[in-house]
Structure 1
Amino acid sequence: MYHKKAIIIAALLGFLLASAVHGAVPAWDKTFGGVNNESAASVQQTSDGGYIIAGTTFTYGAGGSDAWLLKIDANGSRLWDRTFGGINNESAASVQQTSDGGYIIAGTTFTYGEGGSDAWIIKTDSGGKRLWDKTFGGINNESAASVQQTSDGGYIIAGTTFTYGAGESDAWLIKTDANGNRLWDKTFGGIENEWAASVQQTSDGGYIIAGTTFSYGAGGSDAWLIKTDANGSRLWDKTFGGTGNESAASIQKTSDDGYIIAGTTFTYGAGGSDAWLLKTDANGSRLWDKTFGGVNNEWASSIQQTSDDGYIISGTTFSYGAGGSDAWLIKTDANGSRLWDKTFGGVNNESAASVQQTSDGGYIISGTTFSYGAGGSDAWLLYVLNDESTIATSLLLEVPKSARGFKIIMSVIGLLAAVYIAKKYRK
């Protein structure tokens, strides 16, 4: 019995130390793409247990790039995909399954609309067939970054406008009816550049917006939180930042009626830029914030509160992992303290754009890979088990890329130790 335990311990030791050479291995991952460049910007689990992805393709479709919608089953296999676009460049930034089983997509079009580029929403049925689409814009450039179906069956869109508002660019909020017809729109900004990255309807019927401002706050740019009423009128706004540049990428209302924000900071943390997590109360007052990063650049792209009241963050790291940049997943407790993190990637550049906790407690991540797949870059979908036993990953993440030789030595030592112990106790 003692010998068997020793062999098991040796095997575990060898596995853990050897695992430190590479990033985490997802339960499964899939790439989607052709000979050119593709990327995935947004993912959501669908009512059938599968997934819907919105992204951009340069391989398929009509123009330079097209907005791309992919339906995936629960195991990551493609069921169908659709492209939307004309002779110029289009892209998709956000997708949500709607109450009728179809999908609403937000993105940007250079082919349709009024100006250089327009904000664009596309409504499809459950099979991805386009039912209608709408453009919003003026003579300059506009874009849409986030869309959500609202309680009245319409849609709320957050994006950026260079045509309307006070400054160079303004954060832009657009409300439509169920058929995509504009009911109202609002701009928020000063004399410089602002943009909106994420929007959610709140329980009072209003909206919460996360974005970035160069006009207000302390530094070059600040993360920006805006609360509006149901008609889009600003109730309050808050800026967060220091002397450097900060930005907000994603926001969600939390179970205590406050807000959780994910973004990037150049002022605080360890490296050039760090992933940044901020918790506020219902009035937008900061309760706490946390930074995650190493000596190089990191950023956070997506945030969700998890079933245990903690948070899951997706982002990108240049400090940890295998390649130039790696997709990065960080799990925290309710106070923002890191429980574990995982990196995913190969010898080239990878990034994560979106994360959602799945119905089984795992995590689905969408992003982009230059290491795997068919073309220059591919859309990338990863499913990760909810496994908090991440000793091997933690070992990896605490050792910077500059110490890869050390990691290799440690893995060899671990494997030799495993072999030695196993042989000794077999005698």
Structure 2
Amino acid sequence: MKKFYSALLITFLIIGCSKDDTINEIEEEEEIVNLAPNNFDIEIVNISHDGATINWNEAVDPESDIVTYDIYLNQALVIENITELTYQFNDLQELTNYSGKVIAKDTNNNETTITFTFQTEKYYLKYLKRYDYGQVNYGTVGYAPGSPYSMIKSDGQNYIVAGKSAFPNGNGYRFFVSKIDYDGNELWKKFYDYQVGDSWRFKIGKTSTGFILAGHHHVLNLDNEGNVLWYKKIESYDIADGSAEIQSVKQDAQGNIFLVGGRGSEDPQVQQEAVLTKLNNSGEIIWEKVFKSSFRSFFNDLIIDSSDQLIILGSAETSGTTMEEYIQGPSSVEQIDFWVIKTNNEGEKIWENTFGDGKYDFPNQIISTSDNSFVVVGYGASLFKIDNSGNLVWSNTVLSTYNPTFSISETSDNGFVTTGKFDFGNYGALAISKYDSNGNLEWEKSYQESFNYLSGYSILVEDDGGYRIAGSSSKNYYYNDEKPYLLIFKTDPLGNHE
């Protein structure tokens, strides 16, 4: 009997040990389960009209396995088994929504998937192109210095740029006109050997047969290929007075041509007078009118409205300074303000007004706006809007960080974009600024190059919402292949050209 119980006890012990071993084996098998890589984050950067870049941080594997990545875009496998943490998509379509995923895999094919989405941007043609001002046969450079003062849209998607360029012998400056297409290709460049002296602003405008170019004391009527149809010298500006020059020109609906500018006055009590001249379409002078609002007056720009009335921008001394005070004291005795005059087609004044903020104001350009008002830019108060009766609507006296502003255009959102320059140290940067419809600064950008003076002279708004800027690049000394350049920037709506 004792033997039977002993055998039974041993049997139970053996069975118990077998069950414990089985449990341990199961537990050991459960502990060996291999885990997928950890989650990770994806960042989408550098989105353009035809590409985008995705970056992600490393998906760490719990067992320290090697992790590779597969990239899918719109459910299609793009690339697999890469170890890099970035990938660039190319050849995409503009304004298109894309979705995709990054799959992190370990060596046991355990996977972790993270999805992403993005939309490509609208395509904008963007570039910076450079053009020389012609050659010179003096000195060591071989290329002429110059400045592009005016740019207008021509036929189709072409543009006309006018400015001054040094004569080949270095004896002063002459006119140049270039025709440039939408993509920045220069179609032609022509030079006109009329001395423009130290003129610092002049304009080119469109006519029914081509273009009208005016500056210093010259007026040139050009056809669409830049050939001279007729030339007129305005004798009243050809005087021994360094301030005498024509600064702007426009043609009305009847073909009459209007010039504005200023010169020294024969009146002993007047230092400078503003001048408005009317020519017929053959260049013959119909009349010339002088405006002497004060001790110093000058006209800088004009526009002609749909009724062939003239809105003229200029500057005037407004503190009542006399010639005696001017001779005896410093120039700071003068208070120069913006001056806007509206006249009829015969030069008879309809209204006038002055605008300033206590600074010495220098006007540069006036434009008409979509709500039948006018906006002015320049130095000093720099940016202000007036209604059709000459009343101030708003004025922004604290603009961007640069001075001066040379050109302005209205944007599609009824705001404004300007260009000019920003001086820093011994050099300068070309500046572009965007303002809302009330003249508040939204953003600004500056383009600069080491040891160069850059300046923007004219800006136009393109049909795609971007901007076209005519500017210049120059420096004190040129080495090897360096030379002065006419610059054309084509930007997107945020002012980017790259």
Query: Normalising by the residue count of structure 1, what TM-score does the alignment of the two structures yield?
Result: 0.75
Q: How far is 1:221 from its partner?
A: 0.9
Answering whether residue 206 of structure 2 is matched by residue 97 of structure 1, we say yes
Answering whether residue 494 of structure 2 is matched by residue 387 of structure 1, we say yes
Match of 2:461 among 346, 351, 357: 357
Per-residue CA deviations over 1:302-339 (Å, capped at 9, x if unaligned) read: 122222211111111125xx982111111111111222
Answering whether residue 271 of structure 2 is matched by residue 144 of structure 1, we say no
Match of 2:165 among 51, 57, 61: 57
Amino acid paired to 1:95: I
Distance 2:44 2:312 in 1: 55
Answering whether residue 129 of structure 2 is matched by residue 29 of structure 1, we say yes
Q: Could you tell me which residue of structure 2 aligns to residue 252 of structure 1?
A: 367
Contact kept, 8 Å, 1:38 with 1:59, in 2: the verdict is: no
Q: Which moved more, 1:75-84 or 1:86-95?
A: 86-95
Q: Which moved more, 1:49-58 or 1:27-36?
A: 27-36
Q: How far is 1:9 from its partner?
A: 7.2
Distance 2:288 2:40 in 1: 72
216 and 303 in structure 1: CA distance in 2 versus 1, 3 angstrom threshold:
farther
Helix, strand or coil at the partner of 2:43: helix
Distance 1:287 1:131 in 2: 42
Distance 2:44 2:371 in 1: 48
Distance 1:235 1:338 in 2: 33
Q: Could you tell me which residue of structure 1 aligns to residue 282 of structure 2?
A: 179
Match of 1:285 among 366, 377, 391: 391
Answering whether residue 484 of structure 2 is matched by residue 377 of structure 1, we say yes
Answering whether residue 150 of structure 2 is matched by residue 79 of structure 1, we say no
Amino acid paired to 1:292: L
Q: How far is 1:196 from its partner?
A: 1.1
5 Å-filtered alignment, 1:196-215, equals: 196-215=299-318
Q: How far is 1:249 from its partner?
A: 0.9
Q: Could you tell me which residue of structure 2 aligns to residue 408 of structure 1?
A: none
334 and 9 in structure 1: CA distance in 2 versus 1, 3 angstrom threshold:
farther
Cα RMSD over matched residues?
3.2
Q: Could you tell me which residue of structure 1 aligns to residue 471 of structure 2?
A: 367
Q: How far is 1:206 from its partner?
A: 1.4
Helix, strand or coil at the partner of 1:5: strand
Q: How far is 1:346 from its partner?
A: 0.9
Query: How many pairs are equivalent?
Result: 355
358 and 6 in structure 1: CA distance in 2 versus 1, 3 angstrom threshold:
closer
Higher relative contact order (CA 8 A, sep 6+): 1
61 and 128 in structure 1: CA distance in 2 versus 1, 3 angstrom threshold:
farther
Contact kept, 8 Å, 2:319 with 2:335, in 1: the verdict is: no
Q: How far is 1:260 from its partner?
A: 0.4
86 and 148 in structure 1: CA distance in 2 versus 1, 3 angstrom threshold:
closer
Report the structure number with the largest CA radius of gyration.
2
Amino acid paired to 1:387: L
Answering whether residue 342 of structure 2 is matched by residue 227 of structure 1, we say yes
Per-residue CA deviations over 1:373-422 (Å, capped at 9, x if unaligned) read: 9666332222222237x7x99xxxxxxxxxxxxxxxxxxxxxxxxxxxxx
88 and 48 in structure 1: CA distance in 2 versus 1, 3 angstrom threshold:
closer
Per-residue CA deviations over 1:121-174 (Å, capped at 9, x if unaligned) read: 111111111111112133444311111121111211111122567722212111
Contact kept, 8 Å, 2:474 with 2:483, in 1: the verdict is: yes
4 and 301 in structure 1: CA distance in 2 versus 1, 3 angstrom threshold:
same
Identity %: 25
Q: How far is 1:87 from its partner?
A: 6.7
Amino acid paired to 2:423: F
Match of 1:298 among 403, 407, 416: 403
Q: Could you tell me which residue of structure 1 aligns to residue 67 of structure 2?
A: none
Match of 1:43 among 151, 154, 162: 151
Query: Normalising by the residue count of structure 2, what TM-score does the alignment of the two structures yield?
Result: 0.65
Match of 1:263 among 378, 384, 387: 378
Amino acid paired to 2:395: D
Helix, strand or coil at the partner of 1:325: strand
Amino acid paired to 2:206: Q
Amino acid paired to 1:345: Q
Amino acid paired to 1:77: N
Contact kept, 8 Å, 1:120 with 1:143, in 2: the verdict is: no
Q: How far is 1:363 from its partner?
A: 1.4
Amino acid paired to 1:154: N
106 and 90 in structure 1: CA distance in 2 versus 1, 3 angstrom threshold:
farther
Distance 1:255 1:162 in 2: 37
Task: Note the residue ranges of structure 1 that are not aligned, 5 or more in a row.
Answer: 12-24, 109-118, 269-275, 394-427
